Structure 1
Amino acid sequence: MALNTLQKRLCEEHDMDFSHLTALFLNCTLKPSGQASHTDALLRVPQSIMQANGIAVEILRPVDYDLPPGVYPDMRAHGFPSDDWPELCEKVMAADILIVGTPIWLGEESSVCRRLIERLYAESGKLNGKDQSVYYGRVGGCIVTGNEDGVKHCAMSVLYALQHLGYLIPPQADAGWIGEAGPGPSYADDGSGGPQNDFTQRNATFMTWNLMHMARILSDWGGIPAHGNQRSAWEDGCRFDHPNPEYR
């Protein structure tokens, strides 16, 4: 069925400005930079869409950084000789949009992804200028690849963590691809069918636009309204219409 005039105009023309936004993609592959990554290949879809709309995009691999385990902002203060998280964290905090990419291993996100989430959690005690979690006003999504089951499970785990920290998760904020169960081709392998898979490409496109729209809305409105979510106000006794007046 051919696009009608309205559909074609909506697809090809819009007056929305996304050029003031920035996006950071963290590819939690186990492979250091320079090695081919199937997760990276799928991340190129949202990268292309965002860049076509003027968004500055950076793709990094946490495996390239020295990120010791821990839930503190700088693990050098807790016995480790080095910690690159403060450097990577600066890039996280500078981005309006965060996409976490991960391969699937044994049905779960990669160990690199889980460590990234722990290090993101290390910053959750910090507050922004509105006395909210420092992650408020940002949006998050995820990309998952593999040749075994687990796309939705991994997306559930990653997106739960991001929203718990304070990221806003728009509708349909994940996309993924898996081949047949068991050994077989991965996303970017010749003949895998991944780059031609309509379901995967549609979800990756919808995810990207939903992230862009939500980030733009937050930017236009100055983030999440600061009422009912300020920690110091709660600590000072403000209960924001909490129904139990005896609660202290």
Structure 2
Amino acid sequence: MSPTDYSDLSAVYFNGTLKKSPERSNTDGLIRVSRRIMEKQGVSTRLFRTVDHDIAPGVYPDMTEHGWDTDAWPGIYEHVKAADIVVVAGPIWLGDNSSQTKKLIERLYAQSGDLNGKGQWAFYPKVGGCLITGNEDGIKHCAMNVLYSLQHVGFTIPPQADAGWIGPVGPGPSYLDEGSGGPESDFTNRNTTFMTWNLLHLARLLKDAGGIPAYGNLPEEWKAGTRFDFENPEYR
């Protein structure tokens, strides 16, 4: 047991599987590895399988204001706002992230212009990570896309913030299939554990420090003319 107390932290996991509940999701199996570690530390966790929710596609906070009849995202986003850690997880399809994972990233992007209580972008100082499953190549490609997207909209990414499992290339066993070797993979279990602890450590550091310092990253102050030591080059 870690000597550090993490029990005031909360985490939200998103599963981008294309399978509606209660169909078994292999990505859920890998999420459970990480989630159990967090819960052993007293961290409050919440899991959303996005395909189970009527989340409209789009890049605005509430898509009912842009032609859609319903949109579950505004309610789900309240859990993101309250979380210290967000883990985006999903399967590989055609070597890339699933449509559900991509839709989630787009909806997170929709909120990236919001501000937090310090006047920074809304996702300062939340910590982000990534889990990928599949039976074809693409873990690193998918993780690069997710982690780049998370940091771009304001999440802080710790070292080794991704983990994944793939079976043999082509048709073959998935993570939770009997005899797949997925749950027994030392490489996957090590990387998932390291990712989880790095998320916890960085979230703890940021929370104790009061978040990312606000100097130099306040959009409204920039708009008002503050330049945070930036100087225009002299043209002659």
Fold match (TM-score > 0.5)? yes
Match of 1:191 in 2: 179
Q: Cα deviation per residue 1:49-89 (whole Å; 9 max; x = unaligned)?
A: 00111101111111111112111111111111111111111
Alpha-carbon separation, structure 1, partners of 2:234 and 2:77: 40
Gaps of 5+ in 1: 1-12
Amino acid corresponding to residue 235 of structure 1 in structure 2: K
Report the Cα offset of residue 14 of structure 1: 3.2
Gaps of 5+ in 2: none
Question: Structure 1 residue aligned with 2:46, among 42, 48, 58?
Answer: 58
Is 2:148 aligned against 1:160? yes
Is 2:93 aligned against 1:89? no
Match of 1:210 in 2: 198
Question: Structure 1 residue aligned with 2:118, among 124, 130, 148?
Answer: 130
Alpha-carbon separation, structure 2, partners of 1:215 and 1:246: 41
Match of 1:9 in 2: none
Q: TM-score, normalised by structure 2?
A: 0.97
Pairwise CA RMSD of aligned residues?
1.1
Match of 1:141 in 2: 129
Match of 2:106 in 1: 118
Match of 2:31 in 1: 43
SS state at 1:98 partner: strand
Alpha-carbon separation, structure 2, partners of 1:149 and 1:95: 31
Q: Cα deviation per residue 1:28-63 (whole Å; 9 max; x = unaligned)?
A: 101112110000000011111001111011111111
Amino acid corresponding to residue 69 of structure 1 in structure 2: P
Alignment of 1:227-242 (within 5 A): 227-242=215-230
Question: Structure 2 residue aligned with 1:151, among 121, 129, 139?
Answer: 139
Q: Cα deviation per residue 1:190-212 (whole Å; 9 max; x = unaligned)?
A: 01111111111000000000000
Report the Cα offset of residue 245 of structure 1: 5.4
Moved over 3 A (4+): none
Alpha-carbon separation, structure 1, partners of 2:42 and 2:36: 10
Alpha-carbon separation, structure 1, partners of 2:171 and 2:224: 57
Alpha-carbon separation, structure 1, partners of 2:57 and 2:112: 16
Match of 1:30 in 2: 18
Is 2:8 aligned against 1:20? yes
SS state at 2:128 partner: strand
Question: Structure 2 residue aligned with 1:169, among 150, 157, 173?
Answer: 157
Alpha-carbon separation, structure 2, partners of 1:111 and 1:14: 37
Paired residue total: 235
SS state at 1:59 partner: strand
Alpha-carbon separation, structure 2, partners of 1:168 and 1:210: 11
Alpha-carbon separation, structure 2, partners of 1:243 and 1:150: 43
Is 2:168 aligned against 1:201? no
Report the Cα offset of residue 246 of structure 1: 5.9
Q: Cα deviation per residue 1:210-235 (whole Å; 9 max; x = unaligned)?
A: 00000001110111000100001111
Match of 1:103 in 2: 91
Q: Cα deviation per residue 1:104-148 (whole Å; 9 max; x = unaligned)?
A: 000000000000111111111110111110000100001000000
